[in-house]
Structure 1
Amino acid sequence: LLSPQEQQQVEHYFTLTWGVLQEPPFRKEAIQHLLASLLYYLEYIAQNSIEQNPAQLTRQEEIFQRFISLVNTHSKKERNVNFYADKLCLTPRYLNTVIRQASQQTVMDWINQSIILEAKVLLKHSNLLVYQVSDELNFPNPSFFSKFFKRMTGMTPHEYQQTK
């Protein structure tokens, strides 16, 4: 739980980020750095909270947190369960079991959600065309990206760009 001061600070980050998003032209690097700054701030708060209340995370919770951090860092390039399992020194099967128990979702569910979130941000808040977003997210071709996006969201990337 955030203190009132921490909550106000997080709201300032969102207000600033939203303000930058509203100003043409789109400044991808500025947004990325603001979001990174917000994540570092939240990580700082979490670390302080853990130090002040050293309630031990279960092994499962620790693996889950490390996995989510890896997905946030690598999902643009790495979509293979084996990659994440190797990084965590676990078998792919055990990683999937732990992640499913912790979140009721599979490793691939989390990876796909991360990719879709990134795709949505790029489609809505950049001047990139669909094929450029496909390249940015390391899809083999725009057709494959479009099919993946439609399967995950129910609409094509172009349809998503047109929504308000």
Structure 2
Amino acid sequence: MLRKIPTLAIDEFTQKKNIQWGTHDYFVTADPVNDLLRNFPLRQNCYMISICISGHLRIRVNGEEILYLADTLATFNPSTVIEGLEISDDYRCYLVIFKKSFLIETLNNIYFLERFRFLGNNGLQCKKLSENEKTTLLAQINSILIIQKDKNHPFRRDIIRNLIIILLYETEHVIGTDLQYQNLNHNFGQEKLLLDYQDLLKQHYHKERKLDFYAGKLHVSTQVLSNIVKNKTGQTAKKLIEEMVLSHAKLLLKSGEYNVSEVATLLNYTNVEEFSRFFKRKTGATALKFCKE
């Protein structure tokens, strides 16, 4: 028998932590809801913006598995199915939750949220933040936290609504570059990203073997880069890096001018053992044997 996935209101999703502040259609917190995510898949009836500040959270959102690390921004839409798979003991995050009805209460525009592209991305956005981006977004969230604690402020609700709207614009700005590549209808943008990635590989593969470096240069998340490269080439972005390194390594070894240790140094490996393990994993033969043959 299939288990019914519950749809939780804000009170349930926050395990009633919001009640002490009298906020039933919005809530801001720096305390994660770890226990809730450990138990079952769930839906929430609200929007969420979250920034992980320590530890990690591995979750499945609408069937897609995401590893949510420190300094990563994630956003979720109502009705998306969230399932917690793994939560580290040191996991901490800032979380902004709000219902659409709260945000448009005084705007007289039921379509206001539709202007934010990241809120229409099938319920999920996930992006590694730069230090400046993290500082900007956390400052905005901390402003909301301060006002939320002032229960006697006569305009608390209106001020928080406007601060959340500002946060939405800041979030749209931060992840806007990713969105232009995530839209599968924008083939030209994807082709350009792939070409730019291949050009960067030619320049840096002998020094840089981490995907974070290339994603940073292209101003997209590693997830977006991986998805587009896989979609366009059938290979992972990481494999393209490894194939270029391997091809260069074979040329150097075949030349007869360098021994295995010297090739490892030329390819910027920290030690010959690391290079040897890589070569054996990719070819099935040791670098020394390949060199002799």
Amino acid at match of 1:58: F
CA contact (8 A) 2:264 2:275 kept: yes
Match in the other structure for 1:112: 242
Corresponding position of 2:210: 80
Q: Which residue of 2 aligns with 1:142?
A: 272
Give TM-score, length-normalised by structure 2: 0.36
The structural deviation recorded for 1:161 is 1.3
Q: Deviations over 1:105-136 (max 9, x none)?
A: 11110000010011011101141110010011
CA distance in 1, matches of 2:258, 2:228: 37
Alpha-carbon deviations, 1:12-48, whole Å to 9, x = none? xxxxxxxxxxxxxxxxxxxxxxxxxxxxxxxxxxxxx
Q: How does 1:8-157 map to 2 (within 5 A)?
A: 58-157=188-287
Q: Which amino acid aligns with 1:74?
A: H
Q: Find the aligned partners of 2:232 and 2:225 in 1 and give their Cα distance.
A: 11
Cα distance in 2 for residues equivalent to 1:88 and 1:125: 34
Output the aligned Cα RMSD.
1.1
Quick one: distance in 2 between partners of 1:100 and 1:71? 16
Q: CA contact under 8 A between 2:206 and 2:245: conserved in structure 1?
A: yes
Identity %: 33
Letter in 1 for 2:277: K
Q: Is the 8 A contact 2:211 2:238 kept in 1?
A: yes
Secondary structure class of the residue paired with 1:127 = coil
What is the rounded CA distance, in whole Å, between the counterparts of 2:274 and 2:216 in structure 1?
A: 27
State the AA in 2 paired with 1:113.
E
Q: What is the deviation of 1:59? A: 1.4
Question: Which runs of 5 or more residues in structure 1 are unaligned?
Answer: 1-56
Identify unmatched segments of 5+ residues in structure 2: 1-186
2:250 paired with 1:159? no
Between structures 1 and 2, the one with greater strand share: 2
More helix by share: 1
Q: Which segments of structure 1 move beyond 2 Å, counting only runs of 4 or more?
A: none
Q: What letter is aligned with 2:286?
A: T
> Bigger radius of gyration, 1 or 2?
2
- Give the number of the structure with larger relative contact order, counting CA–CA contacts within 8 Å between residues 6 or more apart: 1
Contact 2:256 2:291 in 1 (8 A): no
User: 1:101, CA displacement in angstroms?
Assistant: 0.3
